[in-house]
Chains A and B, each alone.
Chain A
Amino acid sequence: MSSIILAVVIGAAFGAVLDRIGATNPNWIGKMLNLTNLHLMKTILLAIGTASVLMFGGQMLGLVDVGHMSVKTAYAGVFIGGLLLGGGWAAAGYCPGTGVCAAATGRKDALFYIAGGLLGAAAYMVTYPAWKSAGLLEGEKLTLGTVPGSGYDGILPVSGDILGIVMGLAFVAVAIALPERLRGGGEAVAPAE
């Protein structure tokens, strides 16, 4: 039961923050991906960096349970799937989480997006054996460095905890260094909504 309460609290907080940073708004996503307004990109990079530093710092101090880490397998399909997701993300302006949130805020196109998403997920359920037999789902669960107690192998011979903090700080630095826009002239224009 307590896990359901946590799901409600953390889920609601996540949805609310996605709404407040503009991630549920296809205008912000479109302007980020066509590189004319990188405000949302700076937000996301800073978030990844902040979470990384807190998580690895907490693990080193023994305040965060390393067992809560959940690293996904790296395999060829991750890249192919990433390409597909990227194309659809740019066209629609939604990723799976923000599409659900956007529909909840009343955006009609997001309802069509969810319907397409359910059909796409079903199509994958049906075609999964083909990807599996092609060997494109074979891989390993790897992190950059080896994180003590995580059970995952690192690809570099360095402390995964310290490297995690360094990477987190690097994300923060890129968030700060990134300009407001990379394409087009003048000041980056914020969407009205």
Chain B
Amino acid sequence: MVLNWKTGGVVLGLVFFLAVLLVKPIGVSTQFVILDAIVADAVSPDFITQTDDGYTSTNAYMAKSDGKYAGNAANPLNYSFVFVLAMALGAFLSAMARGGVPAEERKLPAIWYANYGDTPLKRYTVAFLGGFIVLYGARLAGGCTSGHMMSGMMQTAVSGYIFAAGAFAAAVPVAIMMYKREG
């Protein structure tokens, strides 16, 4: 059972407020790039290189903004990267504290089962392709649901409203077409 929207909304709002009060607005999707870059640099050590006043990369995206991303990938023990690791830990502890996610849900979400039956391979393929499109889109947009939609609209950022309009314009028709049965 989830928290009532009144309680859950206020608590989630407090977390977003605390983040901006103490550090900066919450964001997640950049860290997928940072992890990619850490892997790329491990495989090919010339991917990120140190310069006189910071870091740069052979990849134009990593090198942009004076090598900000390249620097973060070279030093993963930074706020934003640790934030995402801690987020996973927090979700894990919270799920364990409420008894864990049931085994059949861990294998296939009920809404998938209701619409497509016991088809885990199909589900995992859709999840993989979905992840690809989401992160490609998030990087093109410069942020995701956390950074653009929540942190952005909370700050009255014009980019946040533009992003939310695009996201829901696609998400609602796709969900209605793909998930006809409620589950």
A residues contacting B by CB (< 8 A) are 3-4, 6-22, 24-28, 30-31, 33-37, 39-40, 42-52, 54-55, 58, 64-65, 68-75, 77-110, 112-126, 128-129, 131-132, 139, 141-145, 147, 155, 160, 163-164, 167-168, 171, 175, 183-184, 189-193
Contacts and interface: CB of A to CB of B under 8 A. Distances in A.
A120 to B, nearest CB: 4
A103 B59 CA distance: 29
Contact of B22 (A6, A14, A71, A93): A6
Contacts of B79: 3-4, 6-7
Contacts of A19: 90-91, 94-95, 98
24 contacts: A12-B86, A12-B90, A15-B87, A17-B11, A17-B12, A28-B2, A50-B13, A52-B154, A72-B159, A79-B163, A80-B137, A82-B141, A84-B141, A90-B175, A97-B84, A98-B145, A104-B91, A105-B95, A105-B100, A107-B101, A114-B131, A120-B133, A124-B140, A184-B182
Contacts of B36: 118, 121-122, 125
B42 interface: no
Contacts of B10: 46-47, 50
B102 interface: yes
Contacts, number: 519
Interface residues of B, number: 124
Contacts of B48: none
Given A17-B12, A20-B94, A40-B2, 12 more contacts: A10-B19, A13-B90, A43-B5, A46-B10, A49-B13, A52-B153, A82-B169, A85-B145, A89-B171, A101-B87, A106-B101, A193-B101
B75 to A, nearest CB: 11
Contacts of B71: none
Closest 10 CB pairs of A and B: A82-B166, A46-B9, A92-B130, A81-B141, A50-B13, A84-B137, A11-B86, A116-B131, A15-B90, A86-B170
A112 B145 contact: no
A85 B21 contact: no
Contacts of B62: 125
Nearest to A69: B155
Contacts of A50: 9-10, 12-14, 16-17
B9 A100 contact: no
B88 A30 contact: no
Contacts of B32: 96, 117-118, 120-121
B156 A164 contact: yes
Interface string B111-142: 11000000010011111111111111111111
B111 A83 contact: no
A159 to B, nearest CB: 11
B150 A15 contact: no
Given A16-B93, A164-B156, A54 B17 contact: yes
A102 B25 CA distance: 22
Contacts of A129: 60
Contacts of B60: 128-129, 132
A60 to B, nearest CB: 14
Given A11-B84, A12-B89, A26 B22 contact: no
Contacts of A75: 142, 159
A127 B48 CA distance: 18
B88 A104 contact: yes
Nearest to A125: B61
